[in-house]
Structure 1
Amino acid sequence: MSRSADYTIQGFLYQFNQTLSELLKAADDAVITIEGIVEDIEVATFAGTKAIQCKYHETQNNYAPSILYHPLLQMMKHFKSNPGAKIQYHLFAHFPGNPIVDISMADINGALKSKNKDLKELIGEVAGVDVDGFLKVFSISITPKYDELMGENAKQLEALGFTKGEVETLFYPNAIQIIADFSIKHDVKLRKITKNDFLESLRRIRSTAVSQWTLALKTRQKVIEARRKQLKENLSANARLRHLVIFPGFLEQFDDLIVIFIKSFIDKYHFKLAHTQTPLFALDVPQDVFDGIAERLIAKDVLPNHGRPVKTFSEVYFFREPMVQKEKKEFVLRFIRWDDYKSLALKIKADDFFVIGHGDVSNVDVKDVNLEILDAEKFDEIKYMMGISNAY
């Protein structure tokens, strides 16, 4: 990951952490809108609404008011468009060195008179705003570094009754993941949650979320270790039907490593006669790429059943059991494209449904199925979490 991408991810995580902080401090029935229509966070209570923006400037060596012109103008635009509304505007910002920042009339006028071309449209929309009125409902806080904010949130979770030993590896990463999932919903109504509902959802979760967000946390190694322990029991069972869908979009070196990964899984979890449930791999790839991978598997003596005795897919052929001769199975995995898998009428559901990489499986019926999402980017980490290897 490049340094600029790392800071971009850190900026989002700062916002998610600030959202988590607001959730944990809120009244039980306060309605929090994650990524509000105008602001990053909105907190609605009977007394009115607090509209919050978060700006994280880890690499900005020197503070200058112009750095905050854009969020200030956005807030003023919203203020101007909602006269008489009970809205308090709050800006959380972080700068190295924790400078003292007090937004004054002069700073607001500086934003309104800015010659920055990127702000021209916003400035036009804010023209004539009641600056005095806006300053009465605006406040700013300089927040601690991301690491410190993360530590504060962990302590708040402990104070709310979450087990101290599980906060770091279970509840805190899952709290960030819940907020990240809310933030991408298109309908603003679906981005609203109360503190009570949030905590209730968090307490029900018993497996650690693995995603670009949780793996970008400072606790990355502990998240991976926790996930490995959580997966171990089911993966150790001989007779469990496992379906694995693999989305290559964000997987590093997918083409180079996919055959090695599949073979490693088979060598670990489907090499004994006692391994009676044939695993199924579904790949989200075009047909020509799929066929090429199938040929490479055969070259490695990993024989797939792809349901096509000639050209036409046969569900009967695909779901038949392999013939076993002299302790060698006719085939060791079922192999299918993701687009074809989605159209199958499964007579028997999987015991475990693994989602590897970043993809949408919302159209799959996973009721009564153990869903395991490993939204990681590195095959080495995925293999470690799944117990295929002992290092990454």
Structure 2
Amino acid sequence: MGRSADYTIQGFLYQFNQTLSELLKAPDDAIITIEGIVEDIEVSSFSGVKAIQCKYHETQSKYTPSILYDPLLQMMKHFKSNPGEKIHYHLFAHFPNNPTIAISTKELNDALNSRNKDLKDLIAETVGVDIDGFLKVFTISVTAKYDDLMDENGRQLVALGFNKKEVETLFYPNAIQIIASLSIKHDASLRKITKKEFFESLRRIRSTAVSQWTLALKTRQKVLETRRKQLRENLSANARLRHLVIFPTFLDEFDAQIVIFIKSFIDKYHFKLAHTQTPLFALDVPQDALDGIAERLIGKDVVPNHGRPVKTFSEVHFFREPMVQKDRKEFVLRLIRWDEYRTLVLKTKADDLFVIGDGDVSTIDVKDVNLEILGAEKFEEIKYLLGINSAY
């Protein structure tokens, strides 16, 4: 990942941390909307609405007011369109060296008179705004750097009664993941949550979320180590039916690594006669790509059953048990496309369903199934989490 991508993710993480900070400070019944009416965070309580934007500029060498024209215009536009509403606008901004930032009539007029072509339409929609009235309901705060904000959120979680030893590797990364998951919902009503609901959900979680967001935290190593330990007990059992759904999107070097990964999994968890439950791999790939992967597996002496004795998929053929001759099985895994797997009515559900990569499995019936979401982007990290490798 390049440095520009790192800073982009850090910007999102700063917003998520600021959201967590607002949740920690809010009354229990306050309603927080992730990416609310003015883009980032919205807090609704009996006293009105607090509309928040977060701007994190870690790499900006020097502060100039023009950097903030876009969020200021967004807020003024909303203020103009909602006269009489009890809305307070708050801008959190971070710049290196913590400059003193003051927003007055001058800066707002300069924003309205900007010649920046990217702001042209926004300026046109904001012209005529009551600047003095807006300033009465607007505040700006120069905020702490990312690491300091994260540390403070951790301390606040402990103060709320969360186990200090588990905050760093369980509750804090899961809090960020809950916020990130809410932020991508298209329906604004689904991005709303109260402080009470949020922390009740957080207290119920007993496994550490592994995603691009939690792995971008400075606790990445500890997140991986903790999740590996959580998975170890079920993975150590010989007779568990394991299904693995793999989505190539965002997985590094999928084509180069998928056959190696499947073989490594079989070599670790399905090589003994005592391993009686044949693992199933469902890949989100076209049929020709699946056929190519099957051929490559056979070339590695890892024989799959892909349910196609000729061309047409046969559920009976797919779910039959392998013939065993002495110490050799006819096939060692079932291989299927994700599009076909999700339409199957399984007579026997998996004990464990591992979801690898970035994909939606909400259509799958996971009642009585141990669902494990592993949103890592590198196969080496996934193999580490699954106990296949001792390091990554």
Map of 1:81-92 to 2, 5 A cutoff? Answer: 81-92=81-92
Question: Displacement, 1:38?
Answer: 2.3
Identity percentage of aligned residues: 80
Q: Distance in 1 between matches of 2:270 and 2:36?
A: 48
Deviations 1:329-348 (A, max 9, x none): 11100110111111111001
SS in 1 for 2:92: strand
Q: Distance in 1 between matches of 2:334 and 2:327?
A: 19
Partner of 1:217: 217
The number of equivalent residue pairs is: 392
Query: Is the CA contact (8 Å cut-off) linking 1:211 and 1:376 kept in structure 2?
Result: yes
Partner of 1:9: 9
Partner of 2:312: 312
Deviations 1:178-213 (A, max 9, x none): 000000111111111000000000001010101110
SS in 1 for 2:68: helix
Q: Distance in 2 between matches of 1:75 and 1:57?
A: 19
Instruction: For 1:215, give the aligned amino acid.
Output: L
Deviations 1:255-275 (A, max 9, x none): 111111000000000011111
Partner of 1:296: 296
Instruction: For 2:43, give the aligned amino acid.
Output: V
Query: Is the CA contact (8 Å cut-off) linking 1:37 and 1:188 kept in structure 2?
Result: no
Q: Normalised by the size of structure 1, how large is the TM-score?
A: 0.99
Map of 1:150-229 to 2, 5 A cutoff? Answer: 150-229=150-229
Deviations 1:244-265 (A, max 9, x none): 0010111111111111100000
Question: Displacement, 1:102?
Answer: 1.0
Q: Distance in 1 between matches of 2:88 and 2:249?
A: 41
Instruction: For 2:16, give the aligned amino acid.
Output: F
SS in 2 for 1:263: helix
Partner of 2:347: 347
Q: Normalised by the size of structure 2, how large is the TM-score?
A: 0.99
Deviations 1:9-66 (A, max 9, x none): 0000000000000001100000001111323101001110000000000000100111
- Say yes or no: does 1:326 pair with 2:302: no
Partner of 1:279: 279
SS in 2 for 1:273: coil
Question: Displacement, 1:327?
Answer: 1.2
Structure 2 residues not aligned, in runs of 5+ = none
Partner of 2:107: 107
Q: Distance in 2 between matches of 1:133 and 1:161?
A: 41
Map of 1:62-141 to 2, 5 A cutoff? Answer: 62-141=62-141
Q: Distance in 2 between matches of 1:318 and 1:40?
A: 48
Query: Is the CA contact (8 Å cut-off) linking 2:42 and 2:49 kept in structure 1?
Result: yes
Moved over 6 A (4+): none
SS in 2 for 1:355: strand
Q: Distance in 1 between matches of 2:185 and 2:251?
A: 24
Q: Distance in 2 between matches of 1:115 and 1:315?
A: 64
Partner of 1:379: 379
Instruction: For 1:22, give the aligned amino acid.
Output: E
Q: Distance in 2 between matches of 1:4 and 1:369?
A: 39
Q: Distance in 2 between matches of 1:258 and 1:76?
A: 51
Instruction: For 2:286, give the aligned amino acid.
Output: P
Query: Is the CA contact (8 Å cut-off) linking 2:244 and 2:356 kept in structure 1?
Result: yes
Query: Is the CA contact (8 Å cut-off) linking 2:37 and 2:51 kept in structure 1?
Result: no
Map of 1:247-266 to 2, 5 A cutoff? Answer: 247-266=247-266
SS in 2 for 1:139: strand
Query: Is the CA contact (8 Å cut-off) linking 1:9 and 1:216 kept in structure 2?
Result: yes
SS in 1 for 2:355: strand
What RMSD over aligned residues (CA atoms) do the two structures have, in Å? 0.6
Deviations 1:126-162 (A, max 9, x none): 1111000000000000000000000000001100111
Query: Is the CA contact (8 Å cut-off) linking 1:247 and 1:359 kept in structure 2?
Result: yes
SS in 2 for 1:90: strand
